[in-house]
Structure 1
Amino acid sequence: MSTPVPEELLAARERFTRPDALGFIRGARVPTGQRRAAVLILLSKGADGYDIPLIEKRPDLRTHAGQVAFPGGSMEPTDADAVAAALREADEEVGVPPGTVEVLGALPDAHIPRSGFDVTSVVGWWGDPRPLVPVDTAEVAAVHQVSVASLLDPAHRSTWMLPGGFSGPAFALGELYVWGFTAFLLDGLFDLLGWTQPWDASRVTEIPGRFLRERP
């Protein structure tokens, strides 16, 4: 039986489209209106509250090798809008049927200087979750169903810092290390939903090499 959208998520819909929502997502830039992409932040009922699927990119990719991200990718000419793009990508990458997702809203577009894309982050509810595996094996090495409670645990939170001084929030779950734009999105989403627990932002952790590699 499909689980209906929890009341707290229904009540939060209007927060996703707030004009100042990007203020919660540190590291984003003003969109350029050129190259567009979309990702799906998919919440579902888990054993300990909510779960969110994250993908781990293949370690031999030319860009973003080994990094952890939400399902998503570039918008195609056939996509009606960013929501359609996010649902299509989640289906193609990890096999989430678009018809099983209830879209709750989308965060304002954020420009990512490193990739040059304006990214729309679509928030959805998956009432009938099932185990996921990589479908696009040329891109995705693994799929991780991550507990939101574990992401919120202050013991799993820290700050990453690059040699040039740029820094941001990190989430470390065992061998899994989430940083970069994905971590900014999680950090901002949790703030928007009022879920964030106090954590020590002065604690800096090193980004493991397998999550940092770029091919020449």
Structure 2
Amino acid sequence: MTSPLPDWWEPLLGRVRAARTEDFTRLRTPARGGRPSAVLVLLGEERPGSPDVLMLQRAATLRNHAGQPAFPGGAADPGDVDAAGTALREAEEEVGLDPSTVTVLAQLPLLWIPVSDFVVTPVLGWWHRPHPVHPREPAEVAHVARLPVHELVDPANRLQVRHPSGWVGPAFQVRGMLVWGFTAGVLSALLEMAGWARPWPRDRVTELPPTRAADPAPSAGTDEADELSRPASATDRHG
């Protein structure tokens, strides 16, 4: 360990290490098959005692998930040693993250996305030496931000979104980003595990704008945000 962990890592770290797939999704991950991929859930702090999470916003011109906020990440390459290697490589390619500034602490359970057949490993990391980051490929990444946890859990910034198909899932409206789908589902579950979540108005539902709803709806089984965006603990390249 390069530096002591801040106190706010507990109880999140202990609970994540004991977490099951069922804590994040109702979908059972198949024992075999699937396309390996990983995302980096990177927590740091801009000031002591105030954690934040690194997020990117995909370019509006992309064919899939245009304009959608997401964790850095994507499909595994043959040269990747493990899921952490995939997540760190993708973060370096997308936003210029220096892997040496990250301490990998845990891997979340495998989460399966049926239609794309991705098996996603969220990798939880401590950004022990933060540095400036930026979109390395503007055609793919439009914006990079560190979203403070205290803003994510603010009831005024929490809501649910409804896709044109009728699917409804958790979302966050923070600093100009509407975080929904797979990313919002993972965030929502982690906030609950950490004990950071606050009561919020679950009857606040907004329709997804057309530019954000361009991808097929999760309930139709054609979006990477499907049942993964309904963490069982919260309510009874990844968006």
Scaled by the length of structure 2, the TM-score of the pair is: 0.81
User: How far, CA to CA, are the matches of 2:152 and 2:61 in structure 1?
Assistant: 27
User: How far, CA to CA, are the matches of 1:99 and 1:112 in structure 2?
Assistant: 30
Q: How does 1:1-216 map to 2 (within 5 A)?
A: 4-9=4-9, 12-20=12-20, 22-26=21-25, 29-32=27-30, 33-47=33-47, 49-214=50-215
| Cα contact 2:56–2:141 (8 A) shared by 1 | yes
Deviation at 1:114, TM superposition (A): 4.8
Given the superposition, is the C-alpha separation of residues 169 and 214 from structure 1 closer, same or farther in structure 2, using an over 3 Å criterion?
A: closer
Secondary structure of the structure 1 residue equivalent to 2:206: coil
**Amino acid of the structure 1 residue aligned with 2:24:** I
Q: Deviations over 1:33-85 (max 9, x none)?
A: 32011000111112471111111111111111111100000001111110110
User: How far, CA to CA, are the matches of 1:194 and 1:11 in structure 2?
Assistant: 7
Secondary structure of the structure 1 residue equivalent to 2:77: coil
User: How far, CA to CA, are the matches of 2:111 and 2:208 in structure 1?
Assistant: 23
Deviation at 1:9, TM superposition (A): 1.4
| Cα contact 1:65–1:212 (8 A) shared by 2 | no
Deviation at 1:17, TM superposition (A): 3.2
Deviation at 1:113, TM superposition (A): 3.1
Deviation at 1:189, TM superposition (A): 0.7
Secondary structure of the structure 2 residue equivalent to 1:105: strand
Deviation at 1:211, TM superposition (A): 2.7
Kindly report structure 1 stretches of 4+ aligned residues shifted beyond 6 Å: none
CA RMSD between the two structures? 2.1
User: How far, CA to CA, are the matches of 2:29 and 2:211 in structure 1?
Assistant: 29
Unaligned runs of at least 5 residues, structure 2? 217-239
Scaled by the length of structure 1, the TM-score of the pair is: 0.89
Given the superposition, is the C-alpha separation of residues 74 and 83 from structure 1 closer, same or farther in structure 2, using an over 3 Å criterion?
A: same
Secondary structure of the structure 2 residue equivalent to 1:210: coil
**Amino acid of the structure 2 residue aligned with 1:31:** T
Deviation at 1:10, TM superposition (A): 5.6
Unaligned runs of at least 5 residues, structure 1? none
User: How far, CA to CA, are the matches of 2:3 and 2:202 in structure 1?
Assistant: 35
User: How far, CA to CA, are the matches of 1:67 and 1:113 in structure 2?
Assistant: 20
User: How far, CA to CA, are the matches of 2:75 and 2:138 in structure 1?
Assistant: 17
User: How far, CA to CA, are the matches of 2:92 and 2:50 in structure 1?
Assistant: 24
Given the superposition, is the C-alpha separation of residues 93 and 186 from structure 1 closer, same or farther in structure 2, using an over 3 Å criterion?
A: same
User: How far, CA to CA, are the matches of 1:214 and 1:168 in structure 2?
Assistant: 15
Give the number of aligned pairs. 212
Corresponding residue number in structure 1 for 2:233: none
| Cα contact 1:25–1:187 (8 A) shared by 2 | no
| Cα contact 1:67–1:212 (8 A) shared by 2 | no
Q: Deviations over 1:114-143 (max 9, x none)?
A: 533111000101012122100133321111
User: How far, CA to CA, are the matches of 1:114 and 1:142 in structure 2?
Assistant: 28
Deviation at 1:19, TM superposition (A): 4.6
Residue identity (%):
42
Secondary structure of the structure 1 residue equivalent to 2:79: coil
Deviation at 1:164, TM superposition (A): 2.9
